[in-house]
A and B are shown apart, each in its own frame.
Chain A
Amino acid sequence: MLVVRPSTLDDVSGIESLIRDNEARISSLPRKRVKLSERVERSIRSFNRDPDLAGSDFFLFVLEDTSTGELLGCSGIARNSDRKRPFYNYRLDELIHASESFDVHTPVPILHLTHELTGSSVLCSFAIKAGLSGGIESELMSRARLMFIRQFPELFSEQLVVELQGVYGDEGQSAFWDGLGRNFFDMDFASAEYHVATKSRTLLAELMPPHPIYVSMLSEHAQSVIGKTDERAQASYQLLMKEGFKASSYIDIFDGGPVLCVQREQLRTFVHAQQKTLRCGDVNTGVRHMVANASIESFRCGVAQLTDGMGHVLRIDASVAQTLNLKDGDEVSYTLL
């Protein structure tokens, strides 16, 4: 059975290989095991509602095939409610340089450094085992997070944000980085990503130029990748757009990749998921659904077959319920996959 659950320290090596093998690059998780373990520890503290985290919680989920024990994916949510660290983006704007006396008006696209998305919870750290991209596992891995947010809305912001991998070359180079950021860091994109993953994104962002950037001054190559998703992240992009995320005028300050935003109430998962009281039984037929329990620290969200009828009761197979840490009479959330 496919089950999404909070990550544990036992998952570290599994997550490590997922990040390594993932098609798209993951800048929000460090590759080094020690650093990765620290990140998983933070996640464990977050699921245990450690008050010391004070809003800088990071929830890391993993997808396990319970029949084999294999990890098939991971995904995360950075809560970001502390607002202690500004979240940096560029906002793509257009100025009109106009002169009535010359009868000229030239649109001038410009990138403004902004902290507007500070405080928004960010979906991040998405990785899926090779070959499963675009499949049901991928969908579950991504949407289980949204189920979690829907169950515990008070933990997260109304607006949700995802940064998608910008366009990069086979050697990990980014034309946007080379045209802009690199001049201030004197290091290649891979090194910068390493610092983002191991230290802090804000630390690097603070070194970026504070002034607006005229798009026309960037190299043509850099201009051409603004707001573009790398083809290796297209599957995630499609999934998120289907879920209700919208392209925004924000882009990543390092690689120029797009930032998708949504008011969470508009998400497909938010609109369609329902809650009912669980009745365990012997259920082997029905339609494939995503089913989640109502616990934070022992959160489970898995795929189960069920038949949704009238009334306030939902029947699920007993073994499935057990895997999802559910028992008779519990509240259960579910939606179609």
Chain B
Amino acid sequence: MKVIRPIEASDLDSLVGFAQNSGVGVTTLPDNPELLEQRIYSSVRSFRSSQPKERGNYVFALEDTELGKIVGVSAIEACIGLETVWYNYRISKVVHASKEIGVHTTNEMLSLTNDLTGVSELCTLFLDEPHRTGNNGRMLSKCRMLFLAQNQALFGPKVIAEMRGYSDENGVSPFWESLGRKFFQMDFSHADYQIGLGNKSLVAELMPKYPIYLFFLSPEARAAIGKTHDNTRPALEMLKKEGFHFNGYVDIFDGGPVIESFVEDVRGVRESRLVSAKKSGAVTMTDDERSNLIISNLSLEHFRAIQISPKQVSQQEQSVSLSSEQLDALRVAEGDQLRLIPMRYQ
């Protein structure tokens, strides 16, 4: 069975393995064991409510109980930009006009901001290559909606996600080539390596502080603004269906879009419903069924989520029938409340 649970200290080796494989552009999974270990401990403390709310950093792991190891992770940060400085470019318009000489021009520019400091972030979605099948990716993404719905008080009113920016088949980011490179004489993968080591805000400090007009950029770079990497498109589509939308901010290195939503407006938060657990016999279900649902307990410290088949849901009784194995995996007993959303919206 596949179970979502908070990450644990014993997952470090797996996490280090993911970081080595995650490649250019996934900057929240730094290839730096020390940082990853800190990240795990921070998550463990967060789930135990033993650190301040604004330091909240919740890392979810997808465990394959048959393999006895985790195959993917995802995370939510309660408040970004409090420990390091959070930078984005904001795309804004400027009109230069004079009636007297008949001029009215509109230009767009990128302004460096820390505007998103303090908002919550969905981040670090990573699924190990052989397991990129069925509903695995969706479980990692969707479990966060259940967690947000259950624990709204732990998060800001707004939640964002940074989407990996466009780069071509050779890994070249046209946005970086046209902008960052001119200020940071190294190529994107090296800069990204530094970022990946957890030095993102140090790198950002080498970037231009004053606004950059878009006409200064190459046409390729302009086209890459707000455009996601091909591999990230499914994640983007999934979050769009949750109600996330591009908010006019982009990553300062690769121009990838930031998407956002108010937590209360996230579809999974709005439409999740509480149901009670009923014990049933063995359940036959397939993991990659499109109509499956994801269900979680209401515990913070012992958060668990699994997927179930729609056949297990009783609309009239507001209940779900779970096998004893599923009840154990969710760490609940008959009669306990659970939270439920579909894997896919109709």
Contact = CB atoms under 8 A, between A and B. Distances in A.
Interface of A: 97-99, 101-102, 104, 106, 108, 110, 183-187, 195, 199, 203-204, 206-209, 211-214, 216-218
Interface string B59-90: 00000000000000000000000000000000
B153 interface: no
Interface of B: 94, 96-98, 100-101, 103, 105, 107, 109, 179, 182-185, 194, 199, 202-203, 205-208, 210-213, 215-217
Contact of B216 (A185, A206, A217): A217
A211 B112 CA distance: 13
Contact of A211 (B100, B103, B211): B211
A98 B207 CA distance: 10
B205 A104 contact: no
Nearest to A204: B101
A203 B98 contact: yes
A161 B271 CA distance: 70
B105 A186 contact: yes
Contact of A102 (B105, B109, B194): B194
Contact of A99 (B97, B179, B206, B217): B206
A104 B36 CA distance: 26
Contacts of A97: 183-184, 205-207
A183 B100 contact: no
A274 B328 CA distance: 106
A104 B101 contact: no
Contact of A184 (B100, B105, B185): B105
A216 B183 contact: yes
A212 B111 CA distance: 12
A183 B107 contact: yes
A108 B208 contact: yes
B184 A106 contact: yes
A97 B209 CA distance: 10
A112 to B, nearest CB: 9
Nearest to A186: B105
A188 to B, nearest CB: 13
Q: Is the interface of B mostly helix, strand, loop or mixed?
A: mixed
Given A108-B183, A204-B101, A214-B210, A101 B96 contact: no
Contacts of B206: 97-99, 102, 104, 106
Given A99-B205, A183-B215, A204-B101, A106 B185 contact: yes
A237 to B, nearest CB: 30
Contacts of B208: 108, 214
Given A101-B199, A104-B185, A104-B206, A217 B212 contact: yes
Given A184-B105, A186-B105, A217-B213, 9 more contacts: A104-B206, A108-B208, A183-B213, A186-B103, A187-B103, A199-B101, A203-B101, A207-B97, A211-B211
A217 B215 CA distance: 9
Contacts of B105: 183-186
A224 to B, nearest CB: 16
Contacts of A185: 96, 103, 105
Contact of B107 (A98, A99, A102, A184): A184
Nearest to A198: B101
A203 B203 CA distance: 40
A102 B183 CA distance: 14
A229 to B, nearest CB: 25
Contacts of A199: 100-101
A195 B101 contact: yes
Nearest to A214: B208
Contacts of B183: 97, 106, 108, 214, 216
Contact of B202 (A102, A110, A216, A218): A102
A214 B179 CA distance: 10
A213 B215 CA distance: 12
Nearest to B98: A207
Nearest to A196: B101
A185 B98 CA distance: 9
A139 B119 CA distance: 67
Contacts of B212: 214, 217
B199 A207 contact: no
Contacts of A218: 216
Given A99-B206, A183-B105, A104 B213 contact: no
A281 B293 CA distance: 114
A81 B309 CA distance: 83
B208 to A, nearest CB: 6
A101 B210 contact: no
Most buried by A among B202, B205, B208: B208
A217 B182 contact: yes
Contacts of A207: 96-98, 101, 103
Contacts of A195: 101
B102 to A, nearest CB: 9
Contacts of B217: 217
Contacts of B103: 184-187, 207
The 10 closest A-B pairs by CB, nearest first: A217-B216, A216-B182, A184-B96, A212-B210, A207-B96, A97-B206, A183-B215, A211-B211, A195-B101, A186-B105
A213 B216 CA distance: 10
Nearest to B179: A217
A98 B215 CA distance: 26
Nearest to A219: B216
Nearest to A216: B182
B291 to A, nearest CB: 51
A208 B96 CA distance: 8
B179 to A, nearest CB: 8
Nearest to A218: B216
Nearest to B181: A216
A110 B211 CA distance: 12
Contacts of A217: 179, 182, 212-213, 216-217
